[in-house]
Amino acid sequence: MSSPHDSVLDALLYPFAEGLLHWPQAAPVLFLRGREGAALHGLPHAALVATQSFKPEAARLERIGITLLDEEALPAHHYPLVLVLPPRQREEARALLAKACRAVAADGVVVAAVSNDEGAKSREADLKHLAGNVSTLSKYHCRVFWTRPQAAWEAAHIAQWAQADAPRRQPCAELPAGAFHTRPGVFAWDRVDAASRMLANVLPATLRGRVADLGAGWGYLSMQVLARCPHITALDVYEADARALALAQRNLADARVPVHCHWQDVERGVSERFDAIVCNPPFHALGRGDRPDIGRAFIAAASAALKSGGRLWLVANRHLPYEDALGSGFAQVRSVAQDGGFKIIEAVKA
């Protein structure tokens, strides 16, 4: 299967293809938030290690032989070259650039690339703030920029920014604990997502048995399920973003029932079986465009995972075409509510 075109990854590696930068001969190269793509295949994978918190991308990297590391436990001043694909969210991106600057050897180079419509100029300015002057060029509607050898690393700024996306407690009066653990960069990190709130408000107290939350994020729906449905005996939490899953685990640490957390790509299905499932499926991957195929895959996974008579409670944007997927996988489908651009559907497994 051919690798998808990735213009940001192409831009990141363009200086090496043009001879502006050279791949180091010794020691592994670190790739922060690495992604698999055609441009990566010409490089020596044995000399490349990576971090990636998004399960589908992590699995693609592992399939081509790249070792994954814990982003929170990287050795300092170790790597002669650090590649970075900063995310869109500002605090998360600044923290990642700071970790890159802390991990690179004193005479090493940090190289980053960002799409022009994802804040490329701001991220370039951030790297300048941490390392002094940088070299830069534009390619493929992206900006790639890199530190110079013997950069003037700003140790104090690096230490400060490395904590910019640290986990924190966010007040929330509607949750039993009055707050939740969160961090910049995860979905709806500083608020309760309106669609999830709408679904929580109509969940029936009669849900019982073993329940799953597919695409749980930092755990809001899971917390509400436990608060509103006293007959639940076990809860399984599925989330593809490891950073969000760690928060959900913290938010559910005092749950009254056993909680099982799964870092998993739900699109590939789940092996367990459930009496009920709640779901606010994502409709974007790492980009901005609508991906209704992700929601349809979540619906198919829910249908396969539910026991006979089990119920799926789903919330989605009203314009997303999920009805055909629901019709083929469930015996009964009913619209429960529509409001503010969202729809809530209950579907019952045959």
In a domain, 172, yes or no: yes
> 207 and 152 in one domain?
no
> 215 and 97 in one domain?
no
From first CA to last CA, the distance across the chain in angstroms is: 36
pLDDT at residue 56 above 60? yes
Partner residues linked to 211 by β-bridges = 235, 276
CATH classification at residue 34: 3.40.50.150
> 197 and 137 in one domain?
no
pLDDT of residue 287: 55
Residue pointed to by tokens 């992700």: 294
For 104, phi and psi rounded to 5 degrees?
-75, 145
> 343 and 233 in one domain?
yes
CA 215 to chain centre: 10
pLDDT digits (tens, 9 = 90+) for 96-114: 999 999 999 999 999 999 9
In a domain, 343, yes or no: yes
H/E stretch holding 235 reads: strand 231-239
DSSP structural state of residue 347: E
In this structure, how many other beta carbons lie within 10 angstroms of the beta carbon of residue 160? 14
In a domain, 322, yes or no: yes
Note whether 69 and 81 are within 8 A (CB). Answer: no
In a domain, 271, yes or no: yes
H and E: helices and strands count for the chain:
10, 16
Predicted model pTM: 0.94
What domain range is 132 assigned to? 7-161
> 320 and 274 in one domain?
yes
Phi-psi sector, 260: left (phi>0), alpha (psi -120 to 50), beta: beta
- What distance in Å separates the CA atoms of residue 78 and residue 103, rounded to the nearest whole number? 6
> 121 and 41 in one domain?
yes
pLDDT digits (tens, 9 = 90+) for 9-48: 999 999 999 999 999 987 799 999 999 999 988 887 668 9
Q: Which of 161, 192, 215 is the last residue of a domain?
A: 161
- What distance in Å separates the CA atoms of residue 215 and residue 31, rounded to the nearest whole number? 26
DSSP string, 293-310: HHHHHHHHHHHHHEEEEE
pLDDT at residue 1 above 60? no
> 173 and 95 in one domain?
no
In a domain, 315, yes or no: yes
Partner residues linked to 278 by β-bridges = 213, 313
Q: Which of 97, 127, 161 is the last residue of a domain?
A: 161
pLDDT digits (tens, 9 = 90+) for 220-254: 999 999 999 999 999 999 999 999 999 999 999 99
pLDDT at residue 71 above 60? yes
Give the count of domains, the chain: 2
pLDDT digits (tens, 9 = 90+) for 285-341: 555 556 778 999 999 999 999 999 999 999 998 888 888 889 888 999 999 999 989
In a domain, 1, yes or no: no
pLDDT at residue 87 above 80? yes
In a domain, 340, yes or no: yes
Candidates 66, 77, 76, 75; CA nearest to 31 is 66
Compute the Cα dihedral for 153, 157, 160, 163 and give only its sign: negative
> 289 and 177 in one domain?
yes
> 246 and 201 in one domain?
yes
> 173 and 318 in one domain?
yes
Note whether 24 and 233 are within 8 A (CB). Answer: no
pLDDT of residue 150: 82
Q: Which of 111, 146, 161 is the last residue of a domain?
A: 161
The per-residue b/e assignment along 278-304, b for 16 or more CB within 10 angstroms, e otherwise, is bbbbbbeeeeeeebbebbbbbbbbbbe
CA 25 to chain centre: 32
pLDDT at residue 2 above 50? no
Amino acid at residue number 3: S
> 202 and 264 in one domain?
yes
In a domain, 304, yes or no: yes
Length of the chain, please? 350
pLDDT digits (tens, 9 = 90+) for 117-151: 999 999 999 999 999 999 999 999 999 999 998 88
> 153 and 11 in one domain?
yes
- What distance in Å separates the CA atoms of residue 76 and residue 59, rounded to the nearest whole number? 26
CA 79 to chain centre: 25
